[in-house]
């Protein structure tokens, strides 16, 4: 189901109440640095009184500029839309910043603190985008990062496997909401770190497509090298990363040879 409610209106907030929404899911999973799971729970229940700050107002005020820049650059027309409730899981919902054609959508972010565009998508935004794709039943999203001086677009494709793996965690969170709990479900010590590591490893491993593009290969190599240094990954995960790193180094050699043959 899709509503025509404009984002930010009292009616839109009322429609979101009692649902786990895409913009809240990163915090609900414990993946957001500045919003706790307790705050995410209160927002989902509609009991949080947060009305915005300088950063959120900056983002809201400049979102139209980001979308205008995107349309001018790509030629894609962006259609305004409202809240999309998941067809099969009505307690999940998301509000894309706009729809593109029959399969696409956009999500615009306007960094406030450093005012530097994102060249990689932060984890909590990736989770927001993927849930929004599921709720809106869209296949791809162009993530727009905009500042007054710079602009970047990153294409994200729908990841059904990631959604299925996260659904039990979403369900646990919603179950606590349904029974009127005082806060989010209690997790065992270290479980949030394990969940974060699982999501990061999924994003890394599921993105490994056969593509002998040297720039893409080098980016993936840097990601795996960084992952090997992170303390939240266990030995088994790091062994998997090391194996993939060796494959990528082989692919890089093939790509370099192919470029010289051209």
35: pLDDT strictly greater than 90: no
In the chain, where the domains are located: 10-161, 208-261
84: three-class secondary structure by DSSP: strand
What pLDDT is attached to residue 49? Answer: 66
Averaged confidence pLDDT in the chain: 82
Pick the CATH number of 10-161 from 1.10.760.10, 3.90.320.10, 3.40.50.150, 3.20.20.80: 3.90.320.10
Burial of 118 (0-12, 13-18, 19+ CB in 10 A): middle
Q: Which two tokens stand for residue 261?
A: 């043959």
Q: What is the pLDDT of residue 209?
A: 39
Is 199 or 151 the better-scoring residue by pLDDT? 151
Q: In Å, how far are 8, 54, 72, 138, 194 from 49, measured between CA atoms?
A: 14, 16, 37, 32, 31
Contacts of 80 (CB under 8 A, 6+ apart): 98
Pairing of strands 84-85, 92-94: antiparallel
In the chain the beta strands, taken as DSSP E runs, fall at 20-21, 84-85, 92-94, 98-100, 104-109, 140-147, 150-157
Interval 205-257: pLDDT, tens = 545 433 446 677 777 788 878 878 888 778 877 787 787 788 777 767 666 65
Identify which has the larger pLDDT, 257 or 17.
17
Cα gap 52→86, rounded to integer Å: 26
Beta bridge partners of 146: 151
Residues found in the chain: 262
Choice between 19 and 161, residue whose per-residue pLDDT is larger:
19
- Would you say 151 and 73 are in contact if contact means Cβ atoms under 8 Å apart? yes
Q: What is the pTM of this model?
A: 0.73
């Amino acid at each position: 189901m899709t509503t025509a409610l404009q984002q930010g209106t009292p009616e839109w907030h009322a429609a979101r109440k009692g649902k786990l929404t895409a913009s809240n899911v990163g915090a609900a999973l414990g993946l957001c640095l500045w919003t706790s799971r307790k705050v995410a729970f209160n927002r989902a229940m509609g009991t949080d009184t947060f009305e915005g700050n300088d950063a959120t107002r900056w983002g809201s005020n400049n979102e139209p500029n980001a979308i205008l820049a995107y349309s001018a650059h790509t030629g894609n027309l962006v259609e305004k839309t409202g809240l999309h409730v998941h067809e099969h899981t009505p307690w999940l919902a998301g509000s894309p910043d706009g729809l593109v054609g029959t399969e696409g959508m956009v999500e615009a972010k306007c960094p406030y603190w450093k005012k530097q565009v994102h060249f990689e998508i932060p984890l909590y935004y990736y989770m927001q985008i993927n849930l929004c794709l599921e709720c809106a039943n869209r296949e791809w999203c162009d993530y727009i990062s905009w500042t007054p001086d710079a602009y970047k677009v990153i294409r994200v494709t729908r990841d059904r496997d990631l959604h299925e793996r996260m659904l039990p965690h979403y369900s646990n969170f919603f179950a606590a909401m349904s029974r009127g709990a005082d806060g989010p479900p209690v997790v065992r010590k270290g479980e949030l770190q394990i969940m974060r590591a699982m999501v990061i490893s999924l994003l890394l491993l599921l993105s490994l497509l056969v593509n002998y593009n040297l720039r893409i290969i080098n980016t993936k190599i840097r990601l795996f090298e960084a992952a090997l240094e992170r303390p939240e990954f266990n030995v088994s995960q790091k062994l998997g990363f090391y194996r993939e790193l060796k494959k990528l180094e082989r692919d890089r050699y093939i790509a370099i040879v192919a470029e010289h043959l051209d």
